[in-house]
Amino acid sequence: MKKNACFFLILLAACSSGGMMMTMNSFYDIPVGASQEELIAVAGKPVATHRKEDGAIEYEYVERFSEGARNINERKYYILIKDGKVISKRVKQSSPLPYGFDSYEMQTTQNSDSSLIE
């Protein structure tokens, strides 16, 4: 019994740690007119929701592309829901400036060993 309980907890942890992630392909797979339930089934829960003045709800999903520890690109997907249906979709893509990475770290991690200076 104790062994089964441990297995169940490990399985539960594994399921909760992963999850769906919005990608460009899944974004295109969501048609305008899809239900809110269909959206959640395809894309999972959004990162954030924003309520609009007209009562619509905008779902925000984020996809990040990394190289090492740095995010090199980011896409934000916005899907607008009104009356339980998708009424519009948009994507915003951004890339950080190449010289903006670790600017402070690059300036402060030089070798300060004075014996190397001639």
Angstrom distance (rounded) from CA 76 to CA 91: 6
Helix (H, G, I), strand (E, B) or coil at 20: coil
Q: Given this model, what pLDDT does residue 7 score?
A: 37
DSSP bridge pairs for 48: 60
| Contact (CB, 8 A) for 46 and 59 | yes
Q: Which two tokens stand for residue 4?
A: 């089964």
**Over 50: is that where the pLDDT of 13 sits?**
no
For residue range 36-57, list pLDDT tens digits in order.
Answer: 999 999 899 999 999 999 999 9
For residue range 48-107, list pLDDT tens digits in order.
Answer: 999 999 999 999 999 988 777 776 788 999 999 999 999 999 999 887 666 555 555 555
Question: What domains are there in the chain, each with its CATH number?
Answer: 35-96 (3.30.1450)
